[in-house]
Amino acid sequence: MRKLSLISVILLIVSFPTFAGGILTNTNQNVAFLRNIARGASTEIDAVYSNPAGLAFLNDGFHLSFNVQSAFQTRTITSTFAPFVGNGENQTKVFKGEASVPFIPSFQAAYKKNNWTFSGSFAVTGGGGKATFNDGLASFESQVAMIPLMLSSAGYTGTNKYDVNSFMEGRQYIFGLQLGATYKLTDNLSVFGGGRMNYVSNSYYGYLKNISANLGGGEMINLNQYFSAAADQLTAAAAAATAAGNTTAAAQYTQQAAVAAGVATKTADKELDCDQSGWGITPIIGADFKMNKLNIGVKYEFNSNLNIENKTKINTTGVKAYDHGVNTPNDIPSLLTVGAQYSILPTVRASIGWNHFFDKDASMANNKQKYLTGDTNEYLAGLEWDITNRVLVSGGYQKTNYGVGDGFQSDMSFSVSSYSIGMGAAFKLNKSLKVNVAYFFSTYDDYTKVSKSTAENSSSTGYNGTGLAGTDVFTRTNKVFGVGVDYTF
C-alpha cells in the first residue's frame, strides 16, 4: 500500500500572497496604491516604497504616513479524481481556503533638507495572511482515496468507501524594514540608494486523522485500529504455533502480522506542526527624472538570498524535509519597476507603470523555479482628479501575468494571472494632514492542470503520484480595504 503522508506541505512557503504583487512580493504598502495602482512615478510620501528617488521633490521637512489595510481572499481548487467517489459519491470535489487579515499596518517616513532626503518604512512586504482549508486538500485526500482500490486488490473485495478527517492551515508573513537616502543631482534628476531587511515568519499546521473504510463492503471502520488489532492477534497466533512446534503456521502468521502492521502504520494519524523563520537583505537603487508636466521613476530591488529554518513541534508525516532544523531556500525575486506620470491638466494626472519580477533567478523550495515558463509582469495605469483643492478622487488598473507551468502549480501553492482595479479618494483636512481611503479587488483567471495516468503516459506519475488521471482547476478571489493618514510638518 502507498505510504500516506502530508505530501509537499513545505511548498506552502512559496506563495501565500494576500496583497497585490509577485509570487512573494506585496506592492500595496500604502493606501495611495489602492486608490491609484500606478505609483511608480509618485513624488508623494508613498514613494518611500514605490519610487524612493522621487522623494527628492517633496517639500523640505518631515513627512509621515500611517496606513491600515484589511484584506480578504479565498482560494478555490476544484479537483476531479475518479477514486473520490468513495467519499460522497462524486469524483469532483471543491476544496476552499479562506484567508483574512483584518489589520495590516504600514508606516513610511521621510525627512528632506535641501538636496538630501532620508527615508524609512515598515510594512508587510510579502505574504500577509492565514489560509484555512477545513476539509484539507486534494493532495491529501487523493492518497486516502486510493485505499479502497488497494484493499480490494489485497483480497478485501467490496471495499469501495473511505473517510478521513483532514485539515490544513498556513500563515505567512514577510516583514520589511527599509532605510535609504535620496540625493537630488540636478533640478530634474535624483537618485536613491538603500536596503530592506526582510524577516520571514511562517507557521503551518495540518493533519490526516481517523482514516476509515468499509472493509469488505461492511460498516466503516478505523483502519489503523483494525489492522493494529489484527497484527497483535496474528503475532500471538505465531507465538502459539511456535510453542506447539508448528513452524510452518508460525511463519505464515508472522508474515501476515507484518503485513497487517504495515497497513496499520500507513493508515495511522499524520500530523505536522511547523514554524519557520529566516531573514535576508534586499539592496535597492532608484532614479527619478522630472521635467515640467512629466515625471519618470525607476527602481531596482536586487534578489534577496534567503533561507528559512524549520522549528518543528510535531512531525509524524515521515517526511524528513519537515524535521526540526531543516533549511529551505526562499529567495525574494529581484524587481524592476518603471513608472511615468503626466499632468494632462493642472487638476488631472495620468500615470502608467510596468513591474518585472525576476522569478526564474530566485531559489525556491524543491527548485520550483525550474517549472516557471517566464517571469512575472505587471502592467499598470491610473488617473487622479483634484475635484477641489481639498478633495481628490482616483482609480487604477493592473494586469498581472505569471509565467507558471504545471510543475509549479499545486493545490498548496499556486499563482493565477489576474487583473485588479483600485479606487478611492484623498481628503486634505488642512495644509499638513491628508486622509486616504480606498477599495481594491482582483479578478483571477482559472488555471487548469491535467495529470495523465501512467497508462496514458509512461513518464507520468499520475495525479498526486497515484498513477491515475486527475484534474485541478485553481482560482482565487481578493479584496482589500484601506485607510491612511499622511502628515507633514
| pLDDT at 401 (0 to 100) | 97
Q: For residue 12, what pLDDT is reported? A: 37
Q: Is residue 11 pLDDT above 80, yes or no?
A: no
Cβ contact 387:408 at 8 Å: no
pTM tops 0.75, yes or no = yes
Whole-angstrom distance between the N-terminal and C-terminal Cα of the chain?
70
Q: To the nearest whole percent, how much of the chain has pLDDT over 90? A: 84
Asked if pLDDT for residue 221 goes beyond 50, the answer is yes
For the segment 186-207, the average pLDDT, to the nearest whole number, is 96
pLDDT of residue 449: 97
Per-domain residue ranges of the chain? 9-220+276-488
Share of residues in the chain with pLDDT > 70 (%): 96
Residue 6 binned pLDDT confidence (cut-offs 50, 70, 90): very low
How distant, in Å, are the alpha carbons of 48, 222, 268 from that of 45? 6, 61, 56
Q: Which CATH superfamily is domain 9-220+276-488 in?
A: Outer membrane protein transport protein (OMPP1/FadL/TodX) (2.40.160.60)
Quick one: pLDDT at residue 279? 96
CB neighbours of 401 closer than 8 A, spacing ≥ 6? 376, 377, 378, 417
- In the predicted model, what is the mean pLDDT of the chain? 93
Model confidence at 19, pLDDT cuts 50, 70, 90, reads low
Q: Is the pLDDT of residue 1 over 60?
A: no
Question: What is the arithmetic mean of pLDDT over 252-275?
Answer: 94
The residue-averaged pLDDT of 437-449 equals: 97
Residue pLDDT, tens place only, 74-113: 999 999 999 999 999 999 999 999 888 889 999 999 999 9
**CB–CB of 395/35 below 8 Å?**
yes
Residue 15 pLDDT level (bands cut at 50, 70, 90): very low
Q: Which of 123-132, 308-317, 320-329 has the lowest mean pLDDT?
A: 123-132
Please tell me the predicted confidence (pLDDT) of residue 413. 84
Neighbours of 165 (CB within 10 A): 13
C-alpha 235/C-alpha 255 separation (Å) is 9
* Residue 220 reports pLDDT greater than 80: yes
Say what the pLDDT of residue 5 is.
40
What mean pLDDT is predicted for residues 36-48? 98
In which band, very low, low, confident or very high, does the pLDDT at 161 lie, cut at 50, 70 and 90? very high
At 320 the three-state DSSP class reads: helix
The angle, 0 to 180 degrees and rounded to 10, between the axes of the packed helices 247-266 and 223-243 is 160
- 118-122 average pLDDT score: 98
User: Does residue 484 register a pLDDT over 70?
Assistant: yes
Per-residue pLDDT at 16 exceeds 70: no
